[in-house]
């Protein structure tokens, strides 16, 4: 392939209107392919014989120019994006594949999408939960699996079917935390700044292979429209992948998936060789690897899908005696009843107006006070930072500047706070999002602290409680931030293997990668009233032209929908939605009653033998 810069690759190859689609590759490679009747044109699923194997193919299908012949087609916003219906169908397909011969059944995923469908239709049907459950399914599926990013891999829509044993990408394909337009909209408030967004995302196959996100790079033909040549290259990759996987036992592959997930975001090497390498490379990289001069950070919150002022109605002066309900520190009114509430009463009610119930986003300190017994919380891994996990040259000047601006906004040093605590005398491990540090965004430190907290819970035989209050992925960490979804889901899998109860609390807001990963997998899911629970934030939806009706994706509405899940379990599979909506002041009691129920029915940590004189750690 001729040498092109990243923007040219994106415009002239990745998004070329006549680039071969998944259907073209399937027709070339799999004669006799048996198509399944899928819910939408964006999903192709079927089965065929390949190398004497029973190959299930799950493919995302972008539209072709011929698809845009009618006014309705031109107005359709979710072309190439899988809906909750599509994701439900994939789960059903994987369940069907499980019933086959493990040694002869393979799964091949072809990824080519702008991202998951972010319409209200899918959001009301727990789209984020489906993504989390699909990632979990691919991590635990006892079959050999292969994936290929054929054109574009966008956000959680790609990740939902990409976590396989062998992961490849075409050399002119791009795989990113967010589609470039969304990234530009979030970071720059300008969806046309694709150039700047791509410079930050670094979504190329070479970069992703170095990070361990993919294993193999498949060459593309010189002519991007040459379907025959592209299909031949894909076939060669697939033949080799099937041969390689046939030599590995499934038990070993499952363990490898787990180990890979644990390592996402921990890229910094140590030792004399790596120190010398940094010493030699550092001056060269400073001299030649300069960032684009026109990239500019709008403000710290531009890194998340929910704006920085979301729910921020904290009084400007903590010493004041009253808080005017619904008025921000800057004097703007964002709702509420407008009454003057005594500050002491306001704080004792955990930042909720006692008159009208209008709530303000609560920081991690407030949630610790709300949930745990006084003085029982002991923080773990407080000083873990990105400098300990990422190589210096991957932390841009813009990212460091952004991190510096977080200082003083929170009592904590990162967007996830973990520790041990007691809730009405039940010992637990707690993981709480800190919204006032970078909007509670998921980054490499977030994922690593979550993993370590789960390790501690398993070691100490304790239940796990998480509280999600997040505005999305930390986009300046690129694909590493997206892969924390996989890391946290793998951690939840280990919790469940050890029989430990996991309670997930959804605070306001619960969005982005957090709600599409660990937060959606609780044995019990509790939400605070009026919490925003959605994969893509409302302003991202609006920027992409989608209708936004926030009331329909808040906790009270989704809780009502959850009651209907039991009438359609074939659609929702293991998803149960939100079990309870609970006021903040009652949240501690709600968690305690579920912990007590788990103890009474024998679900959870088993009593461990202790040395004489040592108290049991049983919760």
Could you give the C-alpha distances from 257 to 102, 138, 491, in angstroms and in order? 17, 9, 12
Q: What is the mean pLDDT of each run of 10 residues along the chain (619 residues)?
A: 72 90 96 96 96 96 87 80 97 97 97 93 96 97 97 92 97 87 72 76 88 94 95 97 96 96 78 47 36 31 49 51 71 72 73 74 90 94 89 78 82 92 96 92 94 96 96 86 95 95 96 94 96 87 84 95 95 96 95 94 65 50
So what's the pLDDT on residue 537?
80
CB 530 within 8 A of CB 506: no
CB proximity list for 514: less than 8 A, separation 6 or greater: 433, 440, 442, 468, 470, 472
Cα angle for residues 296, 300, 303 (degrees, 5° grid) = 80
Please determine whether the domains at 6-65+77-263 and 368-600 fall in the same fold group of CATH.
yes
Cα angle for residues 80, 85, 89 (degrees, 5° grid) = 95
DSSP per position, 81-130: ---HHHHHHHHHHHHHHHTS-TTTEEEEEEEEES-S--SHHHHTTTHHHH
CB proximity list for 385: less than 8 A, separation 6 or greater: 413, 414, 445
For the chain, give the longest Cα–Cα distance.
78
- Alpha carbon dihedral 323, 324, 326, 328, in 10-degree steps, equals -70
Q: What token pair was written down for 485?
A: 């979804």
CB 123 within 8 A of CB 515: no
| DSSP conformation class of 14 | I
Distance CA 619, CA 616 (A): 9
So what's the pLDDT on residue 293?
32
So what's the pLDDT on residue 408?
78
Distance CA 146, CA 300 (A): 38
Q: Would you list the domain boundaries of the chain?
A: 6-65+77-263, 313-360, 368-600
So what's the pLDDT on residue 322?
76
So what's the pLDDT on residue 282?
40
Tell me the HSE value of 268 on the side-chain side, using a 13 A CA sphere: 17
Report helix, strand or coil for 406.
Answer: coil
| DSSP conformation class of 32 | T
Q: What token pair was written down for 320?
A: 């004041």
So what's the pLDDT on residue 284?
35
Q: What token pair was written down for 616?
A: 């049991």
* CA nearest to 365, candidates 316, 315, 419: 419
Please provide residue 141's backbone torsions phi and psi, each rounded to the nearest 5 degrees: -65, 120
The total number of residues written for the chain in this structure: 619
Question: What is the CATH architecture assignment of 368-600?
Answer: Alpha-Beta Complex (3.90)
Enter the CATH code of domain 6-65+77-263.
Answer: 3.90.226.10
Distance CA 186, CA 167 (A): 28
């Amino acid at each position: 392939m001729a040498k092109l810069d990243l923007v040219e690759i994106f415009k002239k190859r990745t998004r070329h209107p006549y680039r071969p689609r998944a259907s073209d590759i399937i027709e070339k490679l799999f004669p006799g392919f048996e198509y399944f009747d899928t819910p939408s044109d964006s999903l192709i699923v079927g089965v065929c014989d390949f190398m004497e194997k029973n190959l299930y193919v799950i493919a995302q299908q972008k539209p072709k120019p011929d698809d845009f012949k009618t006014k309705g087609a031109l107005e359709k916003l979710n072309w190439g994006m899988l809906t909750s219906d599509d994701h439900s169908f994939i789960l059903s397909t994987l369940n069907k594949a499980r019933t086959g011969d493990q040694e002869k059944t393979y799964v091949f995923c072809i990824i080519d999408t702008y991202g998951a469908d972010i319409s209200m239709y899918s959001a009301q049907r727990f789209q984020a939960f489906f993504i989390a459950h699909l990632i979990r399914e691919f991590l635990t599926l006892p079959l050999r699996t292969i994936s290929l990013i054929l054109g574009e891999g966008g956000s959680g829509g790609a990740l939902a079917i990409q976590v396989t044993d062998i992961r490849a990408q075409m050399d002119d394909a791009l795989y990113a935390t967010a589609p470039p337009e969304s990234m530009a909209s979030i970071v720059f408030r300008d969806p046309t700044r694709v150039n700047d967004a791509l410079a930050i995302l670094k979504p190329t196959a070479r970069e992703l292979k170095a990070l361990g996100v993919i294993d193999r790079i498949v060459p593309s033909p010189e002519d991007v429209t040459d379907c025959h040549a592209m299909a031949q290259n894909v076939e060669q990759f697939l033949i080799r992948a099937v041969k390689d996987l046939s030599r590995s036992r499934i038990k070993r592959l499952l363990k490898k998936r787990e180990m890979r997930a644990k390592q996402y975001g921990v890229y910094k090497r140590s030792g004399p060789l790596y120190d010398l390498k940094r010493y030699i490379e550092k001056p060269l990289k400073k001299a030649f690897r300069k960032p684009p001069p026109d990239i500019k950070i709008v403000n710290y919150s531009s890194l998340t899908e929910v704006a920085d002022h979301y729910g921020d109605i904290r009084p400007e002066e903590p010493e004041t005696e009253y808080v005017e309900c619904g008025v921000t520190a800057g004097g703007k009114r964002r709702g509420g009843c407008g009454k003057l509430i005594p500050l002491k009463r306001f704080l004792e009610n955990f930042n909720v107006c006692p008159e009208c119930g209008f709530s303000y986003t609560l920081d991690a300190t407030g949630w610790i006070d709300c949930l745990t017994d006084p003085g029982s919380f002991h923080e773990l891994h407080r000083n873990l930072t990105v400098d300990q996990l990422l190589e210096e040259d991957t932390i841009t000047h813009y990212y460091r500047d952004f991190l510096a601006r977080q200082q003083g906004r929170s009592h904590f040093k990162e967007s996830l706070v973990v520790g041990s605590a007691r809730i009405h005398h039940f010992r637990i491990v707690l993981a709480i999002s800190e919204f006032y540090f970078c909007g509670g965004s998921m980054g490499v430190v977030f994922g690593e602290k979550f993993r370590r907290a789960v390790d501690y819970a398993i070691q100490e035989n304790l239940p796990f409680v998480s509280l999600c209050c997040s505005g999305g992925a930390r986009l300046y960490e690129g694909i590493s931030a997206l892969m924390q979804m996989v890391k946290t889901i793998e951690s939840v899998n280990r919790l469940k293997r050890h029989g430990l109860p996991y309670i997930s609390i959804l605070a306001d807001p619960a969005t982005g990668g957090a709600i599409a990963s660990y937060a959606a997998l609780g044995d019990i899911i509790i939400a605070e009233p009026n919490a925003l629970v959605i994969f893509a934030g409302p302003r991202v939806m609006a920027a992409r032209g989608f209708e936004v009706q926030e009331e329909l994706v808040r906790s009270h509405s989704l809780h009502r929908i959850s009651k209907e899940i039991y009438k359609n379990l074939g659609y929702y599979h293991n998803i149960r939605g939100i079990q309870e909506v609970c006021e903040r002041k009652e949240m501690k009691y709600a968690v305690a009653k579920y912990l007590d129920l788990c103890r009474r029915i024998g679900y959870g940590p088993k009593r461990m033998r202790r040395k004489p004189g040592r108290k049991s750690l049983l919760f």
